[in-house]
Amino acid sequence: MMIRSWWPALLIGAALLMPGAGYGAPPQVVVNGETIDFVDAAPVIEEGRVMVPLRVVAAHLGAEDVAWQPASRSVSIVHQGQTVRLEVGRPWATVGRTAIPLDVPPVLRDGRVLVPLRFVGETLGARVTWRAESRTVVILTPEQGAVAGAREEPGTTPERLAEERAEQVRERLRALPTR
């Protein structure tokens, strides 16, 4: 009799310990419509922030140089003449000569420096968007500045493209038969 009363509690406890579907999957990162393949170290979420291997993302964002300084456990990124320096465990970065606070400090995992993706992306001039439903970070660089498949023309901005797409949807809705 006593066993039967414990059985539901055991099942409920086991269910609470299991993560939800997809919860353990690493977030995806898409730069200008291309999904980045992280071969050596997958992105992780630390304190609600997506952390990624710096070298891979910096290359996709057009950084000219990424250098690791083992003595200081810091990494420097050079992009369009600007130097960004991050140090493992420090809650700030240096952009030029200005210290910028970070939401979460860079970490060293399996020989790779993981950095907050939004900070690096935005510092290198990109637009960074988190899509929670698919656990995907979408990054648009200034050179692209548009949604994949959109027209490339001078002066195109993500806001303008969004308005154009909204107008297309409104036109399609107007064309639908009404009852």
Q: Where are the domains of the chain?
A: 22-142
| 114 pLDDT more than 90 | yes
Residues 16-27, mean pLDDT to the nearest whole number: 59
The percent of the chain in helix, strand and coil, each rounded to the nearest 5, is 30, 30, 40
Using a pLDDT cut of 70, give the percent of the chain over it: 70
Rounded to whole angstroms, the Cα distance separating 116 from 122 reads 10
**Structure-block tokens of residue 72:** 């200081």
pTM over 0.85: no
Confidence class for position 8, pLDDT limits 50, 70, 90? low
Confidence class for position 121, pLDDT limits 50, 70, 90? very high
Rounded to whole angstroms, the Cα distance separating 162 from 149 reads 13
Q: How many CB atoms lie within 10 A of CB 126?
A: 25
Answer for the pair 64, 46: CB distance below 8 angstroms, yes or no.
no
Rounded to whole angstroms, the Cα distance separating 95 from 88 reads 15
| Level-2 CATH architecture, domain 22-142 | 2-Layer Sandwich (3.30)
Please give the pLDDT value at position 122.
Answer: 94
